[in-house]
Chains A and B, each alone.
Chain A
């Protein structure tokens, strides 16, 4: 039976960022030198959606290619369960080795290869699996770091724009959060995703609301709406 240190994972996560993303998508422009090939949608577990992106280096051959699974969970706790599923629902009888020095994600594991040709990591409610699938086995650490940076990045002032959404971002927090999952585009038809960041783990963020302890919200929960061009709107949830 495979035994992963779930308690240690949980402890590490509680000491890390409290971040939840809603309708997250990869910006294919972030992968310089790669050509986007196609994407698929999967449901690895009931109620858990995954978008799988494929890239190749050249149009004429399949020598270098990568696959990126982006699995968005309802909460960080759900992401831990999905991550465990990803690590255990394989034919190999032994545990994957932990990637301790790669500095990707809150928790990161790698495949059974001398190079980092497979990395699986968890960040907030998102589980990422990225791997080399071409004829030539290549390391994917650079691409994994790009994704992880994108997940935790807080858009700067230069990215802040007025963004027309189909709902009011200044409504009370729970009202705003209920709207996020069903809004995948802004009012101009640009794809949009949302990033919610709380200062610590004293409240539980989910894709559809905040589970709090009965006290008022800390007041410094930040919500970003980010569209496919990288433009971002920022509000403090009330």
Chain B
């Protein structure tokens, strides 16, 4: 099956998830290790508007991703949310997790301050919002399900809409609603063009074939 990759990928997945005892812990450690690949190995694609580099259509270019991990060119230094969601999804599922890569939004939603992979300034690209966002997502990829986001840190304090910001990598965090202190509320500010526009898009959930 094209969804069964090879030993190199398994080596990385096992190393990243070492000493974990549950599937959620394993996916969490993989998320953390992918995020920590920035900025030396990967950086969020601000110049390209957040284009995909390691995914194309329904394919995940895992061979090139591993080449990059080993110090090669791979497909270059840039990644976007689709790449990060797919990487976490594919490597977690290698270890027995049951995760999808799935989108939220669909046209536009406002953002709170975020810290994208490879950045550390809470400005990242300086965009006021996203046209969509994609993360690794459990179960039915709805607002009741948990997400793993290796692409960005959200503000983990009691008021994510304002500074100061306390970096929090979303790991096994319920997507949630606009009033619960969960991922959606932390990612996007209140309002019609903010949190209310940041809806789960479960029809987009996918496990990309590994090439």
Residues of A within 8 A of B (CB): 1-2, 37-38, 40, 42-45, 50, 52, 54, 56, 62, 65, 67, 88-94, 96, 111-113, 117-118, 131-135, 137
Contact = CB atoms under 8 A, between A and B. Distances in A.
A112 B49 contact: yes
29 contacts: A40-B61, A40-B64, A44-B57, A52-B56, A54-B75, A54-B76, A56-B73, A62-B76, A62-B77, A67-B76, A90-B51, A91-B49, A91-B81, A91-B131, A92-B130, A93-B108, A93-B127, A93-B128, A96-B49, A112-B46, A112-B47, A112-B49, A113-B47, A133-B53, A133-B73, A133-B76, A133-B77, A134-B73, A135-B77
Interface in B31-85: 46-51, 53, 56-59, 61, 64, 72-73, 75-78, 80-81
Contact of A43 (B57, B81, B128, B131): B57
B133 interface: yes
Given A90-B131, A133-B77, A133-B78, 4 more contacts: A2-B131, A91-B81, A92-B130, A93-B127
Contact of B48 (A38, A43, A90, A93): A90
Nearest to A90: B49
B125 interface: yes
A112 B125 contact: yes
A89 B78 CA distance: 16
A113 to B, nearest CB: 4
Contacts of B121: none
B59 A42 contact: yes
B76 A43 contact: no
A92 B125 contact: yes
B156 interface: no
A113 B128 CA distance: 17
A44 to B, nearest CB: 6
A117 B46 CA distance: 11
B4 to A, nearest CB: 20
Given A134-B76, A134-B77, A90 B50 contact: yes
Nearest to A91: B50
Given A2-B131, A65-B73, A112-B47, A91 B53 contact: no
B167 interface: no
B98 to A, nearest CB: 26
A2 B130 CA distance: 12
A121 to B, nearest CB: 15
B5 interface: no
Nearest to A40: B61
A91 B73 contact: no
A117 B50 contact: no
Contact of B73 (A37, A111, A117): A37
A92 B56 contact: no
Interface in B112-169: 125, 127-133
Going nearest first, the 10 A-B pairs with the smallest beta carbon separation are: A133-B76, A91-B50, A42-B56, A92-B49, A90-B49, A113-B47, A93-B129, A43-B57, A111-B47, A91-B130
B1 interface: no
A93 B105 CA distance: 11
Contacts of B125: 92, 112
